[in-house]
Chains A and B, each alone.
Chain A
């Protein structure tokens, strides 16, 4: 009886958490399917369904252009941050070099630094350097703020890989590069995937830099572009289209995570050492 009681209690807690997390998301999904007339009727399930909002956003160049910017900027920033992060994390996990503690400390400092306080100086600097409203103008700060995250996650993964595997590879005749490529890298792959997803989500979701460091369609990403959405006339409420756009940019992330979930699962190194 006690077991059933405990199970029910846990089930209730689980439901509360899931509902709390999902209601706002479902609300936006619901809004995106509502017609203009029923938008404010307060029903959770739309009374009349429409796909007009989705058709509308894909008919505007604003959204499509922003989507291209978002994908491009997030992918490039993720790739660079993960490559740099992998190298830095490998060094931190494996080597003893002077200034190692300082490096870890500084990267922690960057992660803790309030980004808002950097927006104005960055704005001035980027205008001075001609980076304002360009792709590199967003990619650079994204890499800066994603690197600590990448280094931390990846060095945790590298620490999990037994060092003896590398020694064994050396004894088996591998050069350091071969040992990294054929033994360490395949084992670190889940860590690299996890980090890539986290960094990608960070870049994809950023609003602060996107709104402050861009001014035109040339580099404005979706989160920023959404705030500039208007209806077809000035007096029209854009809630429906904003909701639709929000749904559209959330879907790739969800698919991405679901698709790579199996690869993220840890425990790939089981069987390497001990019995």
Chain B
């Protein structure tokens, strides 16, 4: 139970490399906070600095109002779950979970009671006397969790704890991690590179890029009001569609055709002093098959015709992929996102648009379809610095 405050925390390696720069995060007592970002963004370094496994170069880390920069990990009363689980292979599950208590010189009866309680919560009771080597991945993961919860620490730190599990188990464990955290009400800092985990688990999400915090907020807020191009592209799956556009006389000229600005967008763009050249962003769910809408609905947005490249039917929705002729949106942020997703060199002539259509849509692969989009949901970004021109608090 603790409040953790990172006050301009910076990590600079001896060779001069800046891993984390001026990070300010205030984590409330009992909060579940997620650090998310592509690899190399400094999220794990930040977590290790909270743990005490890495020194803090500048700034202050406070736990419950006390400066802990100089304290050894063991004096911070924080438990950590590692990506690799880091179970002690020569000890049984029981000994693994009892290890922190035995180091803390807790008496034997209490150790037994606490270990058995933790084992019951995590459904490990029948495995207590086995060695980690004989356990499945999911069971090992639970033992690592057990070792963390057994001593009621002030906070849990989790470094991509689910990334070694297969997809199905990961979803299952995600729910149980969430339940466990709610039940124990312990402050938790959770690092992941998976934006789905970030969206589903956290009370608040911290998006990081290149050692800098990009935006902090609830998952829904980040999704609806990304502060910049990077957050917009990182949060959401499938990700937001970006297109280059020219802003002229309250109209956007885009590869999808001319889009008149709605009142909301115009007001925000004027307030933000939008440049002529912008990047517009539209989420896949803000598209719809035009044949399914009545005229009244259609008038709120624009339409365009395109040929469906690929159609993926998910049962509840259909994902339709289009290629739109013309320039693709380019910016440093988008390049980095593409590089992280490993799709940097996949763009071949024209911008790729992913749309989420309702299951009733009759669109078929290879056929031309009229697609409607909601112009009021459009977001506008400045290509030079990536800031969101339509951002509202």
Partner-B contacts on A (CB < 8 A) = 162, 164-165, 167-175, 178, 182-183, 186-187, 268-275
Contact sample, A vs B, 9 pairs, CB 8 Å cutoff: A164-B86, A167-B80, A168-B87, A173-B103, A270-B133, A271-B131, A272-B88, A272-B132, A273-B86
Chain B minimum-CB-distance residue to A174: B103
Task: For the complex, give the distance between the alpha carbons of A175 and B132 in Å.
Answer: 23
Pair A173/B100 contact, Cβ less than 8 Å = yes
> Does B99 lie at the interface of the complex (its beta carbon under 8 Å from any beta carbon of A)?
yes
Q: Which 9 A-B pairs have the closest CB atoms?
A: A271-B133, A275-B137, A273-B84, A168-B86, A271-B132, A172-B100, A164-B86, A272-B89, A173-B103
Which of B79, B89, B164 sits near A171, CB closer than 8 Å? B79
Chain B minimum-CB-distance residue to A183: B88
Q: A164-B84, A178-B103 are in contact. Are A275 and B140 (CB under 8 A)?
A: yes
- B66-108 CB mask vs A (1 if < 8 Å, else 0) is 0000001110001110101111111000000001100110000
Pair A271/B51 contact, Cβ less than 8 Å = no
Which of B82, B87, B104 sits near A271, CB closer than 8 Å? B87
> Does B147 lie at the interface of the complex (its beta carbon under 8 Å from any beta carbon of A)?
yes
Task: For the complex, give the distance between the alpha carbons of A268 and B88 in Å.
Answer: 11
Pair B86/A170 contact, Cβ less than 8 Å = no
Pair A274/B73 contact, Cβ less than 8 Å = no
Pair A272/B74 contact, Cβ less than 8 Å = no
Pair A187/B89 contact, Cβ less than 8 Å = yes
How many chain B residues touch A (CB < 8 A): the figure is: 35
Task: For the complex, give the distance between the alpha carbons of A220 and B133 in Å.
Answer: 48
Q: How far is the CB of A164 from chain B (nearest CB, A)?
A: 4
Q: A164-B86, A173-B74, A186-B90 are in contact. Are A274 and B164 (CB under 8 A)?
A: yes
> Does B53 lie at the interface of the complex (its beta carbon under 8 Å from any beta carbon of A)?
yes
Enumerate chain A residues within 8 angstroms of B133, measured Cβ to Cβ. 270-271
Chain A minimum-CB-distance residue to B169: A275
Pair B74/A170 contact, Cβ less than 8 Å = yes
Task: For the complex, give the distance between the alpha carbons of A77 and B147 in Å.
Answer: 41
Enumerate chain A residues within 8 angstroms of B141, measured Cβ to Cβ. 275
Pair A268/B53 contact, Cβ less than 8 Å = no
Pair B103/A274 contact, Cβ less than 8 Å = no
Task: For the complex, give the distance between the alpha carbons of A268 and B133 in Å.
Answer: 9
Pair B72/A269 contact, Cβ less than 8 Å = no
Pair B89/A275 contact, Cβ less than 8 Å = no
Q: How far is the CB of B52 from chain A (nearest CB, A)?
A: 8
> Does B136 lie at the interface of the complex (its beta carbon under 8 Å from any beta carbon of A)?
yes
- Which interface residue of A169, A182, A271 has the most chain B CB atoms within 10 A? A271
- B109-139 CB mask vs A (1 if < 8 Å, else 0) is 0000000000000000000000111111100
Enumerate chain B residues within 8 angstroms of A268, measured Cβ to Cβ. 89-90
Pair B53/A167 contact, Cβ less than 8 Å = yes
> Does B165 lie at the interface of the complex (its beta carbon under 8 Å from any beta carbon of A)?
yes
Q: A271-B140, A275-B137 are in contact. Are A167 and B86 (CB under 8 A)?
A: yes
Q: How far is the CB of B360 from chain A (nearest CB, A)?
A: 42
Which of B53, B132, B165 sits near A170, CB closer than 8 Å? B53
Pair B89/A271 contact, Cβ less than 8 Å = yes
Enumerate chain A residues within 8 angstroms of B157, measured Cβ to Cβ. 171
Pair B104/A187 contact, Cβ less than 8 Å = no
Chain B minimum-CB-distance residue to A171: B80
Chain B minimum-CB-distance residue to A164: B86
Enumerate chain A residues within 8 angstroms of B53, measured Cβ to Cβ. 167, 170-171
Which of A164, A175, A183, A270 sits near B82, CB closer than 8 Å? A164
Enumerate chain B residues within 8 angstroms of A164, measured Cβ to Cβ. 82, 84, 86
Enumerate chain A residues within 8 angstroms of B136, measured Cβ to Cβ. 275
Task: For the complex, give the distance between the alpha carbons of A234 and B52 in Å.
Answer: 75
Q: A172-B103, A274-B164 are in contact. Are A165 and B86 (CB under 8 A)?
A: yes
